Structure 1
Amino acid sequence: MKNLTKKIALFSCITTALLMSSCDTSDDSGTVDVNYSAEDATRAAQADIIVENTLNIMENGYVENEETRNSSVSFFPSCTTITITPNGSGGTIVLDFGTSCTLNNGSVVSGKINLEYGAIVDGTRTINYSFENYTYNGHGVEGGGEIVRDIENENGNPSSTVNETITVSFEGTAITATRVGLRIAEWIEGVGSGTWTDNVYSITGNWNTTFSNGFSRSGEVTQPLIRKLNCLYLVSGTLDISQQALTGTLDFGDGSCDNIAVFTFNGQDYTIILGQ
């Protein structure tokens, strides 16, 4: 991968090339070089989409099979085998996508997602999740964590608080990205409608993503990220990010369904293609 490095005076930064620039600052202690990689920045944003979509798949698998929602139109096509095993006041759900399964929103998945949960206590239920040879649009996904499912939050909506340690293996490369953090998703539209197509989620939280090539990025949601389940991408909201000693803002748009996000750094806007 290529990184362009420019040396400049303190408080001055010149960006060069689309998302492929760097800033160097000098002070009494010497010069600090910071290389900026477009490729790593794009992969980090893509990892967020892969993780987000996977968490939405898990949530819908649980909601359709365990909560009292009238799911007359399922998110899952016939290529998904769903096995429910009750165990007293809890149980397990296995979502088996086989060697390849195109979900009804266009996501292509394979392998299994395992959900294990206990009793509902004070309106919440803890769900443990793990992956088994699972891929999302060709990218490997491993790891797991815990979901605390709130049947009705302070706004009267269902919500899920996810503690996550999820590793993404990017298709066609040897690079992996591990995301560790906290994600809170509130179901704000489409609750109880009987179809997944009008479901909308508002997402907050913060997470750190570490790459096997040494790159790392931290992100914190500053304006709720909005996810429409009938779109493969986040449609709006902002994430403040820190990477390679630089800070900026990633904006997912105005509500339109597209694969474009805009990274703003040092007063300049750069387009990131989120891919699949």
Structure 2
Amino acid sequence: MKTLQSTLKACFALLLFSTVVVSCSKDNETTEVEDSNLDITEIEASAEVDAIEGALEDLVIEVYENQEASETGRVVQPPQLPDCVTITIIAQQNFREVTIDFGSEGCMVRGHELMGKIILSWTRDPEAQQRVITYELEDFFIDAKAVIGSRTILKELSNDNGNPQFTHTVDLTVIWPNGLQASREGTKIREWIEGFGSGVFSDNVFEVSGNWTTTFVNGNTHTYEVMQPLRREVICTYFVSGTVDVQRTNFGGTLDFGEGDCDNKATFTFNNGNEIEITLN
């Protein structure tokens, strides 16, 4: 009888152990899937922050360049901006403050719906080879995402390649309608490689390099370093080529924006060789 009881206890213990192992295995698989989905979501979100930064940089550079070219202190409306954009200026002898107002109802600019204001300022010195531009955002939204922050831009009239160059010090927070939130700090260098001086901003092309950190509201932090320069064509919403090294605590890999197509596709290759396609919104 004792032998039978011992056998039954052993069988029950084995069954219980097996159940626990299977349960843990399933829980681990579920956790891994959830983590993987979160990783992809955060990579996509960070790429969307890139697009927001690009749109902001385009507008600031376009308005600044048009205003500086006039040298009159009067408002200069860039010809390729729609009528729903209102520009005002405070002009002093060696100082400019320009407000770009997109209104509170939404204004479509190059495929983005913008609301709120961008306020930029700089000290004028026509003889200086470097100029500092600062801007801040006021109740600003792009494609229903709230954007908070300020930036400093150092413009070099001519870099080692003979091209104008803008070094951006980044400090922005983006909040999605669903509550997702990401903050970014770092440095981006924009070299103006095509279209400078043409008077038509839509033909401009920039190459972007640099490094930055994106921190999500859940505490996850991604670090980014440009490996191959990112090609920014003003007529396209996203980068059309270039690669970025991405690292986080539990994964890393390479984000590749493609071979030059003007689309919303990118590829992420994890360090283990797994590759996924990313669709940017």
Q: State TM-score, norm by structure 2.
A: 0.81
Partner of 1:148: 154
Judged with a 3 Å threshold, the aligned counterparts in structure 2 of structure 1 residues 75 and 216 are, in CA distance, closer, same or farther, namely: farther
Residue 50 of structure 2, aligned match among 48, 51, 57: 48
Query: Which has more strand, going by share of residues?
Result: 1
Distance (Å, rounded) in 1 between the aligned partners of 2:248 and 2:51: 18
Structure 1 outlier segments of 4+, above 4 Å: 4-7
Q: How many residues are treated as equivalent by the alignment?
A: 247
State whether residues 116 and 127 of structure 1, in contact with CA within 8 Å, keep that contact through their aligned partners in structure 2. Answer: yes
Question: Can you give the 5+ residue segments of structure 1 that lack an aligned partner in the other structure?
Answer: 8-15, 23-34
- In the TM superposition, 1:163-174 aligns within 5 A as 163-170=169-176, 172-174=177-179
1:66: Cα distance to partner?
1.6
Distance (Å, rounded) in 1 between the aligned partners of 2:77 and 2:121: 24
Question: Can you give the 5+ residue segments of structure 2 that lack an aligned partner in the other structure?
Answer: 1-26
- Give me the identity figure in percent: 37
Is it true that 1:229 corresponds to 2:234 in the alignment?
yes
Which deviates the most, 36-45 or 76-85? 36-45
1:72: Cα distance to partner?
10
Partner of 1:10: none
Relative contact order: is structure 1 or structure 2 higher (C-alpha 8 Å, sep ≥ 6)? 1
Which deviates the most, 45-54 or 106-115? 45-54
Judged with a 3 Å threshold, the aligned counterparts in structure 2 of structure 1 residues 68 and 158 are, in CA distance, closer, same or farther, namely: farther
Post-superposition Cα deviations, 1:220-254, rounded to whole Å, max 9, x if no partner, equal 00100001001111100001010233220000111
Cα RMSD between the aligned structures?
A: 2.3
SS in 2 for 1:59: helix
Q: State TM-score, norm by structure 1.
A: 0.83
Judged with a 3 Å threshold, the aligned counterparts in structure 2 of structure 1 residues 87 and 68 are, in CA distance, closer, same or farther, namely: closer
Is it true that 1:60 corresponds to 2:65 in the alignment?
no
Post-superposition Cα deviations, 1:68-114, rounded to whole Å, max 9, x if no partner, equal 69x997331111011122222221111001021111x2221110000
Judged with a 3 Å threshold, the aligned counterparts in structure 2 of structure 1 residues 197 and 147 are, in CA distance, closer, same or farther, namely: same
Partner of 2:277: 271
Letter of the aligned partner of 2:161 in structure 1?
N
State whether residues 62 and 78 of structure 2, in contact with CA within 8 Å, keep that contact through their aligned partners in structure 1. Answer: no
Post-superposition Cα deviations, 1:32-78, rounded to whole Å, max 9, x if no partner, equal xxx96322222122122222222222121211222469x99733111
Partner of 2:21: none
